[in-house]
């Protein structure tokens, strides 16, 4: 005997006029005398189930009355088309069979504060907006992998416990690793995925990455998921062409397949419909000029409308600067050729201007910030050694990485896209903490 329902709500249209058995949870319930309206959710959708006293046994009616919010149950009934219901269908209930009756579910349809909701994240993930956000996250991940799999990339998994830093030494989570000294949680899979690139040509890694940075912004998590493609014989221009196709594919697929979730989130998709290659490119130098001109004119930046702070050449951009630059374009914009000093050690210097590197940050429209960081990597062993020294890193620790430049080195490029940043943008949610099931932040590790 199976415990499964006879169908799921997402397939209900195929069962019009037929008897079905649904299994799920009571999202909401209202009683009007001889009628009980149950909003049943089963993970694939929500449907109104109408319990009419004269159509069910006394026992079934009592069972329906006993179901508090989030009670679990089976509902047997007939599928009826109803143009007034959001799904287009409702269930004419014949029987109600409780599985677990709940009376005091903590998250009620009234408003709750964010602290309360975060402390109840394990339950909050059932709420319709959170459900929609996490569904979109799933689609972003599926689309990203599908694009790469269809374009000749091989998934090459990289370790999470690593002996050295890849993205600077200031934000490492450390743990004692048996008798072998300290190990660090990976900030990126990049260095290892470069080894895979030399075996397969086109690879990607995908997994959780960790940054012990003490930032409390809406855009930072201490644990986030990154997908990182790496391509042999590719320069930074090739890298950007790949990124604009990759990102456009993801947006398109989410628009096609998660329209209902985007509606649940009240996401205005007008701007997303325009996302297609090519994306604009501006240099770091141009960005600095634009920012300083705007700052001099007293331009303010949403959402807080604080004045845009001016910047000196050589400084890194903050969130307001990215938001301002993004506001000048309809599509994501590449900011290219940052000063070497603000970027990681492995980036290839520009030939006639070694103070800047072949890299780009891809800034999402509408103020959602950097979604991708990428670069062409140094492929010359001596230059790479020199850069490691300049960054105060121990050459001995990076011998295996230098080997990749000693044996069959080739120019190569790659990038990393943060799944949560990308999801926040597409779903139109300001705070990244809701785009991951259990966010890890400076002041949060429960639940």
Among 226, 272, 335, 363, binds ligand 4AD (CB under 6 A): 226
Q: Find out whether 95 and 422 touch, Cβ atoms under 8 Å.
A: no
Q: Does 236 bind ligand 4AD (CB under 6 A)?
A: no
426 is in the binding site of which of ligand 4AD, Mg ion, none (Cβ under 5 to 8 A by kind)? none
Among 45, 367, 374, 428, binds ligand 4AD (CB under 6 A): 374
Shortest distance, position 160 Cβ to ligand 4AD, whole Å: 14
Cα distance between residue 216 and residue 220, in whole Å: 7
Shortest distance, position 195 Cβ to ligand 4AD, whole Å: 13
421 is in the binding site of which of ligand 4AD, Mg ion, none (Cβ under 5 to 8 A by kind)? ligand 4AD
Shortest distance, position 318 Cβ to ligand 4AD, whole Å: 14
- Tell me whether strands 154-155 and 202-210 are parallel, antiparallel or unpaired: parallel
Q: Does 369 bind Mg ion (CB under 5 A)?
A: no
371 is in the binding site of which of ligand 4AD, Mg ion, none (Cβ under 5 to 8 A by kind)? ligand 4AD
Q: Does 373 bind Mg ion (CB under 5 A)?
A: yes
Minimal CA–CA distance to 414: which of 360, 353, 334, 340?
A: 360
CB closer to Mg ion out of 89 and 279: 279
Concatenating the DSSP letter of every residue in 247-311 gives HHHHHHHHHHH-HHHHHHTT---HHHHT--SPPPEEEHHHHHHHHHHHHHTT-EETTTTEEPPP-
Quick one: which segment of 28-36, 53-61, 244-252, 366-374 binds ligand 4AD (CB under 6 A)? 366-374
Tally of CB atoms within 10 A around 344:
20
Q: Which residues contact 341 (CB under 8 A, 6 or more apart)?
A: 314, 355
What is the CA 79 to chain-centroid distance, rounded?
36
Shortest distance, position 147 Cβ to ligand 4AD, whole Å: 16
Q: Does 379 bind ligand 4AD (CB under 6 A)?
A: no
Shortest distance, position 133 Cβ to ligand 4AD, whole Å: 15
Q: Does 221 bind ligand 4AD (CB under 6 A)?
A: yes
What kind and span of H or E run contains 358?
Answer: none
Number of H helices, E strands in the chain: 13, 20
CB closer to Mg ion out of 90 and 194: 194
Among 7, 130, 188, 348, binds ligand 4AD (CB under 6 A): 188
Among 250, 371, 384, 426, binds ligand 4AD (CB under 6 A): 371
* Interface of this chain with Mg ion, residues 225 to 284, rule: CB under 5 A: none
Would you put residue 203 in left (φ > 0), alpha (ψ -120 to 50) or beta?
beta
What kind and span of H or E run contains 227?
Answer: strand 223-232
Quick one: which segment of 90-98, 269-277, 329-337, 411-419 binds ligand 4AD (CB under 6 A)? 411-419
Cα distance between residue 387 and residue 399, in whole Å: 14
Task: Fill in the DSSP letter of residue 64.
Answer: H
Q: Which residues contact 274 (CB under 8 A, 6 or more apart)?
A: 330, 331
Shortest distance, position 387 Cβ to Mg ion, whole Å: 17
Q: Does 421 bind ligand 4AD (CB under 6 A)?
A: yes
Residue 300 pairs with which residues in a beta bridge?
A: 307
Q: Does 340 bind ligand 4AD (CB under 6 A)?
A: no
Q: Does 370 bind ligand 4AD (CB under 6 A)?
A: yes
Residues in the site for Mg ion, rule: CB under 5 A? 373
Residues in the site for ligand 4AD, rule: CB under 6 A? 167, 188, 190, 211, 220-221, 224, 226, 228, 370-375, 414-418, 420-421
């Amino acid at each position: 005997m199976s415990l499964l329902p006879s169908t799921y709500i997402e397939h209900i249209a195929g069962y019009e006029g037929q008897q079905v058995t649904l299994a799920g949870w009571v999202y909401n319930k209202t009683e009007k005398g001889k009628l009980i309206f149950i909003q049943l959710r089963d993970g694939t959708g929500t449907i109104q189930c109408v319990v009419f006293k004269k159509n069910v046994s006394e026992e079934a009616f009592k069972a329906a009355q006993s179901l508090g919010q989030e009670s679990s149950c089976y509902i047997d009934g007939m599928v009826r088309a109803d143009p007034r219901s959001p799904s287009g269908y409702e269930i004419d209930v014949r029987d109600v069979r409780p599985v677990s009756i709940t009376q005091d579910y903590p998250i009620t349809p009234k408003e709750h504060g964010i602290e309360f909701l975060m402390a109840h994240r394990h339950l909050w993930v059932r709420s319709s907006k959170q459900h929609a956000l996490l569904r979109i996250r799933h689609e972003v991940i599926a689309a990203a992998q599908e694009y790469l799999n269809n374009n000749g990339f091989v998934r090459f998994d990289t370790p999470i416990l690593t002996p050295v830093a890849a993205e600077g030494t200031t934000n490492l989570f450390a743990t004692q690793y048996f008798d072998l000294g300290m190990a660090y949680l990976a900030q990126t899979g990049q260095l290892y995925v470069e080894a895979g690139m030399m075996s397969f040509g086109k690879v990607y890694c995908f997994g959780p990455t960790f940054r012990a940075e003490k930032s409390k912004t809406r855009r930072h998590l201490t644990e986030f998921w990154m997908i990182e493609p790496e391509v042999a014989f590719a320069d930074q221009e090739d890298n950007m062409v790949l990124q604009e196709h990759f990102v456009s594919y993801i947006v398109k697929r989410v628009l096609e397949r998660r329209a209902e979730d985007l509606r649940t989130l009240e996401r205005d998709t007008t701007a997303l419909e325009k996302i297609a290659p090519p994306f604009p490119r501006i240099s770091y130098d141009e960005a600095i000029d634009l920012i300083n001109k705007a700052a001099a004119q007293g331009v303010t930046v949403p959402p807080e409308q604080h004045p845009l702070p001016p910047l000196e050449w050589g400084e890194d951009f903050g969130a307001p600067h990215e938001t301002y630059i993004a506001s000048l374009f309809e599509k994501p914009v590449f900011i290219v050729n940052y000063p070497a000093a603000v970027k990681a050690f492995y980036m290839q210097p520009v030939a006639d201007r070694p103070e800047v590197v072949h890299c780009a940050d891809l800034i999402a429209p509408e103020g959602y910030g950097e979604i991708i960081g990428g670069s062409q990597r140094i492929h010359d062993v001596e230059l790479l050694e020199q850069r490691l020294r300049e960054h105060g890193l121990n050459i001995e620790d990076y011998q295996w990485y230098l080997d990749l430049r000693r044996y069959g080195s080739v120019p190569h490029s790659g990038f990393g896209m943060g799944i949560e940043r990308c999801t926040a943008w597409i779903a139109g949610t300001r705070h990244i903490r809701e785009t991951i099931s259990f966010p890890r932040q400076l002041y949060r590790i429960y639940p």
